[in-house]
Chain A
């Protein structure tokens, strides 16, 4: 059965990392394009991410307060009008996405990491560790999260994005953890996992090489949903004035528009609607994108 090198065998080396990445990206776009809504969602998310990154660079500052120009209606000079202290609303809109999205990404990353690490650990270890983790999870799950967030924000000065993100993440992991645990419990009974155990591939490899990749779509979808939840949570905190109103972001804009009485001016309709619309569109884009992500992760659809 010893085999001589056959012609062409040397070219059979597995594709390199760069090549694989390139194919992956190509396939990703082709599959996203499968579903028109999903692709639109993807474009929307892309737009907001670019906005978050580039906005504060394009608009280095939101201008100085000018009491002669307060609550102006949309005009060529100020396409979305001006705010309660006479600053341009559009400029604030362009600058205000970054903080929101950064906190959302941080919070979703953190809560996803917590869920995967401890969910997989609970399912894989079993026994008392599983019981302990699940008990903790149930405790956190039963706490009404937003009221707790409100109470906590009274004690913790949420003036750092990562602090706000951590707080949101610490309250939002239980649902995903339970789902991850359930999936790992089911996947670890699969025959290919049993075969991997017989082959002595090691727990790390089995978990990260055999089990978790099969949950990738679920995890990415949970990540986007986690982001939407984090956006709502922080906007609500800002709107209620429970997080420090420093700098510009859509949540703070909404709060000020409300508190300073913009809702009583007909001319300020765009001022108050702009952050609401931006937040809603971002959420919509993420939810639609997450729906078509399932196609991307299904190996059956990978081949054309």
Chain B
């Protein structure tokens, strides 16, 4: 068996707080193959960004191990760690904070190239930077070369960020809400650029988002991990997750996607959560952390015993007592309300196809 590119093994991250600690990431295990797209989905505070930073080696988890091609990154020697560092890059959410305001686009992109001896001399640096700008669809690249970040739009900055990540030829890009702060009109073209990088350069993505529609669009051929309060509650290939969500939290998330068609919205089954408040990370509920909100809640089980992430078929993992019991025991459709399939124009085509397959 070949080693995955990156594997998180029972990783937890506790941040120190006044009383005790905040468990931002709780016993998460994930693995990512080279060139794969994995989406991390969840509300704010679910530990997505922390997980992303752990994958990028920017945070050291308080327990558990992160392995890069089978080697624990925090036990590596310096040279290997540097190689890993360069293999995994990060693109941040806020295009206004992720570029240093005092440097021109050329400096931002040429510095890592020169630092790692990937270009020799100015002329070659200019040529390579122009190439990178073209790769991320900033055309004509010449006009961006000596611009300062404040002279660029949010979308353009985000492209510069992506180009910067590409300077060191990474194998994996952690895209932390990389599209959520740009205008909707720009978002699709930015996603298309990323998708092209994946197809043409074979770059893998850990795509962190709170928007399932984007996960659908970007990671259709990949997998999605749904996170809730620091834990992965469902881990499954994207089409299966979108069309047949298992965990009640995933179903709630999908049900919350607004539909452009009002008739569809009215017909769409609403999932009644028992509470709309996300519990504080300082007081995570015992047992299943979702139980105070869960429509499938069973007293004496869910509020006592913590569900493990268990396989319900060959490809899908769910952390829910009720679903696991139903799927592995008597397989019954537990909710009468089918979650409406989004007809989001962005993903309509893709979903249409899938809808045919599954019906």
Chain B associates with chain A: yes
Interface residues of A (CB under 8 A from B): 1-3, 5-6, 8-10, 12-14, 190-192, 194-195, 197-202, 205, 209-210, 213-214, 299-300, 302-303
B101: nearest chain-A partner, CB-CB: A299
Is the CB–CB distance between A303 and B148 below 8 Å?
A: yes
From known contacts A1-B131, A214-B100, infer whether A191 and B92 are also in contact, taking CB-CB under 8 Å.
Answer: yes
B58 touches A197 (CB 8 A): yes
**Interface size (B, Cβ < 8 Å)?**
43
Does residue B102 face the partner (Cβ distance < 8 Å to A)? yes
Interface string of B91-120 (1 = CB under 8 A from A): 010100111111000100001100110000
Inter-subunit contact A299/B150 (CB<8 Å): yes
Query: What residues on A are CB-neighbors of B86 within 8 Å?
Result: 199-200
B214 interfacial contact with A, CB 8 Å: no
| CB contact under 8 A between A205 and B131, given known A14-B122, A198-B90, A199-B168 | no
- For A3, give the chain B residue with the smallest CB separation: B131
A201 to chain B, nearest CB (A): 6
Given contacts A3-B130, A12-B126, A200-B116, contact A195 B111 (CB under 8 A): no
B156-185 interface (Cβ within 8 A of A)? 161, 164-165, 167-168
Nearest 8 A-B pairs (CB), nearest first? A191-B98, A191-B92, A192-B100, A199-B112, A200-B85, A191-B97, A213-B102, A198-B90
**What chain B residues lie within 8 Å of A12 (beta carbons)?**
126, 130, 142, 145
Q: In the complex, A263→B100 CA distance in Å?
A: 57
- Asked whether, in the complex, the Cβ of A192 is within 8 Å of the Cβ of B97, the reply is yes
Closest chain A residue to B85 by CB distance?
A200
Find B115's partner among A3, A8, A205, A214 (CB 8 Å cutoff). Answer: A205
Are A300's CB and B134's CB within 8 A?
no
Please give the distance in Å from B181's CB to the nearest CB on chain A.
12
Identity of the chain A residue whose Cβ is nearest the Cβ of B106 in the assembled complex: A14
Knowing A199-B167, A200-B116, A303-B148 are in contact, say whether A192-B126 is a contact too (CB < 8 A).
Answer: no
New A-B contacts (19) at CB < 8 Å, excluding given A12-B130, A200-B112: A3-B131, A5-B127, A9-B126, A14-B146, A191-B92, A191-B98, A194-B53, A195-B90, A198-B57, A198-B85, A198-B88, A198-B89, A199-B85, A199-B164, A200-B82, A201-B111, A201-B115, A302-B148, A303-B151
Question: Bound complex: CA of A198 vs CA of B92, how far in Å?
Answer: 12
**A3/B134 contact (C-beta < 8 A), A191-B94, A191-B97, A214-B101 known:** yes
Asked if B31 CB lies within 8 Å of chain A CBs, one says no
Bits for B42-68, please: 1 = Cβ < 8 Å to A, else 0: 000000000001001110000000000
State which of B102, B135, B146, B164 has its C-beta within 8 Å of the C-beta of A1: B135
Note all chain A residues with C-beta closer than 8 A to B1: none
Q: Verify if B336 is at the interface (C-beta below 8 Å from A).
A: no
B101 touches A195 (CB 8 A): no
For A198, what are the chain B residues with a Cβ–Cβ distance below 8 Å? 56-58, 85, 88-90, 165
Contact A202 B106 (CB under 8 A): no
A211 to chain B: closest residue by CB: B100
Q: Is B17 close to A, CB under 8 A? A: no
Chain B residues, Cβ within 8 Å of A299 = 101-102, 148, 150
Report B-chain residues with C-beta under 8 Å of the C-beta of A303: 148, 151
Residues of A within 8 A of B164 (CB): 195, 199
Contact of B123 with A by CB under 8 A: yes
Contact A209 B111 (CB under 8 A): yes
Select from chain A the residue with minimum beta-carbon distance to B126: A12
Can you spell out 19 A-B residue pairs with CB atoms less than 8 angstroms apart? A3-B127, A3-B130, A3-B134, A5-B127, A12-B142, A190-B100, A192-B97, A192-B99, A192-B100, A195-B90, A195-B161, A195-B164, A197-B58, A200-B85, A200-B116, A210-B100, A299-B150, A300-B101, A303-B148
Q: Shortest CB–CB separation between residue A64 and chain B, in angstroms?
A: 56
- Residues on the B chain within 8 Å of A192, using CB: 97-100
Q: Is B112 a contact of A190 with CB atoms below 8 Å? A: no
CB contacts (< 8 Å) of A191 on chain B: these are 92, 94, 97-98
In the bound complex, CA of A169 to CA of B183 (Å): 51
**Known: A1-B135, A195-B92, A195-B161. Is A205-B102 also a contact (CB below 8 A)?**
no
